[in-house]
Amino acid sequence: MCCNKEPYILVFGVSVYDIIGFSYQKFRSKDSNPGRVRVSFGGVCRNIAENLARLDLNTKFISLIGDDEKGKSILKHAEQFNLDMKDSLVVKGESTPTYMAILDEQGEMEAAIVDMKIADMVTTEFIDSKAELIKNAEYMILDTDNAAIVEYILTTFKDTTNFILDPVSAAKVAKVKHLVSYFHTIKPNRQEAEVLCGFPLNTIEDVRRAGRYFLDLGVKNVMISLDADGMYYNDGVSEGIVKSKKVKVVNVTGAGDSCVAGIGYGYMNHMDIKETVQYAIAMSIITIVHEDTIHPNMCRDLVNEYLQNIEWEEVIFS
């Protein structure tokens, strides 16, 4: 029996320790450049989980970290938002996934090193040890970083758990194309949707055709991000496109992560699909107007404030 009585949403994925160096002047290779170094915590699913926890949702995050100081700092950071990471896999003697980049004076990347050695160390035995946690989750959010483990989770728990897919990228989502029917919800962008359905999405009718295609496969809710053109949604009953009036973009990094968190919040609060999409878009807007990947003041009150002030444009298909 599972001891978790309060409903919760579950996220599974890698946590990443980000180290970014910004050069103050013209970058010189093979030399020491004056600038600033910034450390932050990333990883698509970690970002989603933090956004959810900041909304005061009961959020559990099964992650993968090393038993180093970087991993410990990620765990400590999670405690600030009551993000439950106690079921994470801590790999002894290994480094927490790390991304280190150097940006020139224009903000363009000069070089980067990615240490993801432990990303493939999750085993099916580890997943089995979390069976009750997975079975009793209201929803479970997955990305496509480890396609083999994603397939194992989907096929093992298909009858007990509602899965939400964040595709991450067109290249990575290709590896789980054959698994689309296992998902309750998918939230691809236009390019990722094209990979999943196998035809181009050049027109709105193409997008609608893709929506019908995914529903026919068994997906319950389809949401396709159309960037500046808004977000398409279809649950087999309601179909349309929602967009907000133009906003000033500061940093698009993390917008997709907060959007998925917004979907999770909508589901956990029993919103209908259009309300859920609007909530997700509001969280994305909050994210892109700030330089940080996760807005430092993200919370329910801030999202509600934005929802009251956003000017919506809608297309509803009858």
Whole-number average pLDDT of the chain: 93
The predicted pLDDT at position 224 comes to 97
Q: Which of 228, 202, 199, 203 is nearest to 214 (CA)?
A: 199
Report which listed range, 34-43, 167-176, 199-208, is most confident. 199-208
What is the percent of the chain with per-residue pLDDT over 90, rounded to a whole number? 78
pLDDT at 285: 93
The pLDDT of residue 116: 86
Q: What is the pLDDT of residue 194?
A: 97
Mean pLDDT of 132-159: 96
Q: Is 40 helix (H, G, I), strand (E, B) or coil?
A: strand
Dump pLDDT digits (tens) for 179-236: 999 999 999 999 999 999 999 999 999 999 999 999 999 999 999 999 889 999 999 9
Measured CA to CA, the distance from residue 49 to residue 198 in angstroms comes to 30
Exposed, middle or buried, 299 (CB in 10 Å: 0-12/13-18/19+)?
Answer: middle
Average pLDDT over residues 248-257: 80
Order the strands of the 35-42 sheet from edge to edge: 35-42, 16-23, 98-103, 109-115
> Can you tell me the distance from the alpha carbon of 62 to that of 51, in angstroms, rounded to the nearest whole number?
15
Q: How confident is the model at residue 318 (pLDDT cuts 50, 70, 90)?
A: low
At 292 the pLDDT is 82
How do residues 56-98 score in pLDDT, each as one tens digit?
A: 999 999 999 999 999 999 999 999 999 999 999 999 999 999 9
pLDDT of residue 249: 76
Average of per-residue pLDDT across 161-174:
93
* Cα dist from 104 to 24, 26, 100, 113, 291, whole Å: 8, 7, 14, 15, 17
Look at the block and give the residue holding tokens 């996760």: 294
243: its two tokens: 């967009």
pLDDT of residue 216: 98
Taking residues 240-264, report their average pLDDT. Answer: 88
Residue 4 above 60 pLDDT?
Answer: no
Q: Which pLDDT value is given to residue 1?
A: 41
Between 294 and 141, the more confident residue is: 141
pLDDT at position 253: 76
Residue type, 71: G
Strand partners, 232: 224, 241
- Give every CB contact of residue 4 below 8 A, 6+ residues apart in sequence: 60, 133, 136
